Amino acid sequence: MKKINVVTDVFSEGTSWVLPDKYAEAIRAVSERVVLTVAQSRGELQEALPEAEVVFGRAPAGDELPLARRLRWVQLASAGANSILTPDFLRRDITLTTASGVHPIQVSEHIFALLLAFARRMHEYLAAQADARWDKDPVERTDELFEKTLGIVGLGHIGREVARKAKVFGMYVLATRRQAQEHAAAPDVDELLPPGRLPELLERSDYLVLCVPQTAETTGLIGRRELALMKPSAVLVNIARGPIVDEAALVEALREGKLAGAGLDTFEQEPLPPDSPLWRLPNVIITPHTAGSSPRYWERATALFCDNLDRYVHGKPLRNVVSRELGY
């Protein structure tokens, strides 16, 4: 019976996370063929890579990839794959799958935390609280999500959950999806638009949420021209990837009152440099790429991996296989 050597690794610069025993046991329980190595350091990872057939966590970095001579499949613990598909990786016959589907609950809640903060001006109240200042707004400055138009760019797992929650708040939902056709329909979406009608979505949205993966097509998707189409009262929320938005153009629009606010969880450069003007704009709420954080993250990510590992053992198609052409 041929063994399948699996290595778990989620080490990255500045952080280290080791798979808890209960999740390691769940992986081993998938099949008697599975031989699992839980790498507890970069050194242990490098020692294990030459025998590894499967890696769960992050893909081996450029200097590690040559060590992984037997690698056939990488299951990412994250949803984004754009940084993995390097020329060196693409030259190898390695299947790449993502953790897409692990994020909708916590990311959609994070999005609505930002939407509600802007609608109810919570960021301003918190600033006033820090100064012990009773800063009571005129009634008309406080808003509601009810009957506002929400534009969702990208109707994947996260976008669909955002749409579902938006209907609970009584919002009108517009969405674009890459393969949407004219007059297509989707659950909880009032109007599903093809990508070519993005300008219309931008013009009509009171709140814009970006949920698309970063690809060659979506990098720079929201630039100066697109921001100019939006209402001056509109709020942009980006939980996707920083390079999808032209950051300099966004700063300009926020400074000049062409956009009411932005809730940003991702940035062109991370960590966001201390000298970025975004830190000092009063109409910006910054979170440090934590929209996907959840105490149940690894429970969900491991369950997805175990399902895929069972499929791999039995020669069945894997979930969330990344297209080398599309980049997601």
The β-bridge relationship of strands 4-9 and 54-57 is: parallel
Distance CA 2, CA 6 (A): 13
- Would residue 217 show up in a list of annotated catalytic residues for this protein? no
Distance CA 86, CA 61 (A): 10
- Would residue 314 show up in a list of annotated catalytic residues for this protein? no
Which residues on neighbouring strands pair with residue 235, listed in sequence order? Answer: 207, 261
Torsion of CA 2, 78, 14, 83, to 10 degrees: 90
Q: Among the options 69, 270, 296, 324, which is catalytic?
A: 270
Q: In one letter, which amino acid is 323?
A: S
Per the structure block, which two tokens stand in for 259?
């956009």
- Would residue 289 show up in a list of annotated catalytic residues for this protein? yes
Which residues on neighbouring strands pair with residue 57, listed in sequence order? Answer: 9, 76
Distance CA 197, CA 181 (A): 11
> Under a CB-based contact definition with an 8 Å cutoff, are residues 211 and 152 in contact?
yes
Q: Among the options 289, 299, 311, 319, which is catalytic?
A: 289
Per the structure block, which two tokens stand in for 31?
């099949």
**DSSP E strands, 162-206:** 172-176, 191-193
Q: Among the options 226, 241, 247, 300, which is catalytic?
A: 241
Residue numbers annotated as active site: 241, 270, 289
